[in-house]
Chains A and B, each alone.
Chain A
Amino acid sequence: MFCEKVIELIRELHRMSDGQLPAFNEDGLRQVLQEMEALYEQNQTDVNEAKSEGRADLIPSIKLRHCCLLRNQRCVTAYCYDRLLRIRSLRWEYGSVLPANVRFHMCAEEVQWFSQYKKSLASFMRSLGGGEGLDLTQDMKPPKSLYIEVRCLKDHGEFEIDDGTVILLKKNSQHFLPRWKCEQLIRQGVLEHVVS
């Protein structure tokens, strides 16, 4: 049956329901596009014949192929769109710089979309409050205290806090730091919030 190939693309994403981004399946996409081209050409031939030789009996087959073309178009668009939703969430989870193993799973057009999204988001956040700016990727949970106890899960190097003090984030070291300075590093798995 037609449109089996494109379902594999859809399943690939559906399996990763936590939002991970599998590698862009250019090969699979190319095969779908080839199938579409073949369907389109066969339909062109049949349409011409139906017109010139009055072969109305060809119409059901033309219609069937057209349904398949629309189906492929829908599935490919849904594949790409769902990937955008995943790429969008990467900006919120990782920040604006992505680790290489994530970036390698994006195709050139997706890299472009991501950098434009970053730009739009940044200029939106900058423009808030009459140009004063507010970072919306911070403060994801309601604050309970100003300072929190954190444990360092890996070596991260030097880290400057509000008052200009510089501390060294060394693996397994424990610190008492301003909450809002740590949020991003906790999300990225560098620090762990210790709750007694």
Chain B
Amino acid sequence: MDTQSYLPLQPGVGMEENFLSLDDILLSHERLPIRTECSFPRLGYLEKSTDAQDIPEGTKMELPLWLSKGLYEKKRRVLSVELPKVYREGWRTVFNADPNVVDLHKMGPYYYGLGSQMLHFDSPENPEIAQTLLQTFIGRFRRNMDSSQNAYNEDTSALVERLDCLEKALFTSGQSGLNGFQSWEKGRASQLTASSLVLNYRKRKMADVPP
């Protein structure tokens, strides 16, 4: 039911980013390995390994996704973006062999999101990356769906700890469907309840004030 009235702005779908989405902002804060293809005068202080005034051409460093995307141009190369390890061929083989064994939380937690964003950069490996993302998702989806539809009234932390952000969101929505259905079956769907926001505020207030 529409009881929770704070609904955050949803992240973009696929390669899209939503300008105001907090999730997309955090995703685009992920760092990528890059190599500068020209010099950046007067910005040497951004590169900790040197005291020079400029960042010289050919420097290998890490930049957040948003900056790499902003600076990247096909015609006039100022930097080239390298693939993070999890999207390279070695890891792709592992993912394709059995996507269920990998810990996407540790390797991500924005495995799918960042992977889709990588497609903005012109790499010959893009078709394989896209294919692996899709197959990994499909390969893990069944198990994720089953567990989200069957774990009722139990601790789910073990079930979600290896999930990517996207998968976790799907798990949560599966759980809320399950819980809603169960409460309807027990005839509790029509019970009027206190706003969870109000309750959480009260909890916090009590935690703030020493007894």
A–B direct touch, CB within 8 Å, in complex? yes
> Chain A interface (Cβ within 8 Å of chain B)?
1-3, 7, 10-11, 13-14, 17-20, 42, 46, 57-58, 60-61, 63-64, 67-68, 70-71, 74-75, 77-78, 81-82, 85-86, 88-90, 92-94, 99, 101-102, 140-144, 148, 179, 182-183, 186-189, 192-193, 195
**Beta-carbon contact of B194 and A140 below 8 Å:** no
Name B residues whose Cβ lies closer than 8 Å to a Cβ of A.
Answer: 1-9, 19-23, 25-26, 29, 38-43, 46, 63-64, 66-67, 70-71, 78, 187-202, 204-205
Contact B20 A82 (CB under 8 A): yes
Chain B residues contacting A10 (CB-CB under 8 Å) are 22, 25-26
- The 8 lowest CB-CB distance pairs between A and B, nearest first, are A19-B6, A67-B70, A89-B5, A89-B6, A144-B190, A93-B195, A189-B194, A92-B5
Q: Which residues on B sit within 8 Å (CB–CB) of A20?
A: 197, 200-201, 204
* B205 CB contacts on chain A under 8 angstroms: 101
Q: How far is the CA of A60 from the CA of B77 in the complex (A)?
A: 10
Q: Main SS of chain A's interface residues? A: helix
- What is the bound-complex CA distance between A144 and B1, given in angstroms? 15
Q: Which residues of B contact A94 (CB under 8 A)?
A: 195, 198
A99 to B198 CA separation, bound complex (whole angstroms): 10
Q: Which of B7, B188, B198 has the most CB of A within 10 A?
A: B198
B144 → A minimal CB distance (Å): 20
17 A/B residue pairs, CB under 8 Å, sorted by A: A14-B22, A20-B197, A60-B71, A71-B70, A88-B5, A93-B5, A93-B197, A140-B1, A148-B192, A179-B192, A183-B192, A187-B193, A188-B195, A189-B199, A189-B202, A193-B192, A193-B193
Which of A42, A182, A189 touches B195 (beta carbons < 8 Å)?
A: A189
Q: How far is the CA of A102 from the CA of B201 in the complex (A)?
A: 8
- Contact check, B40 vs A81: say whether CB atoms are below 8 A apart: no
Please give the distance in Å from A150's CB to the nearest CB on chain B: 9
A188 partner residues in chain B, CB cutoff 8 A: 194-195, 198
Contact A186 to B193, CB < 8 A, known contacts A71-B67, A85-B8, A140-B3? yes
Q: How far is the CB of B172 from chain A (nearest CB, A)?
A: 10
B70 to A57, Cβ gap below 8 A? no
CA A102 – CA B2 in complex, angstroms?
A: 22
**Shortest Cβ gap from B39 to chain A (Å):** 7
14 A-B pairs besides A13-B22, A42-B42 with CB distance below 8 A are: A19-B5, A57-B41, A60-B39, A71-B66, A74-B25, A78-B21, A85-B7, A88-B6, A89-B6, A94-B195, A141-B189, A143-B190, A187-B194, A188-B198
> A192 and B66 in contact (CB under 8 A), knowing A63-B71, A85-B7?
no
* B22-A78 in contact (CB<8A): yes
Task: Quote the shortest CB–CB distance from B23 to chain A (angstroms).
Answer: 8
B139, chain A: closest CB distance, angstroms:
28
How far is A7 from B9 in the complex, measured between Cα atoms in Å?
17
Chain B residues with CB below 8 A from A57, complex form? 38-39, 41
- The residues of A that contact B46 with a CB separation of less than 8 Å are 1-2
Q: Are A60 and B1 in contact (CB under 8 A)?
A: no
A81-B20, A142-B190 as given contacts; A60 in contact with B5, CB under 8 Å: no
Q: Is there contact, CB below 8 Å, between B42 and A61?
A: yes
Q: Are B188 and A140 in contact (CB under 8 A)?
A: no
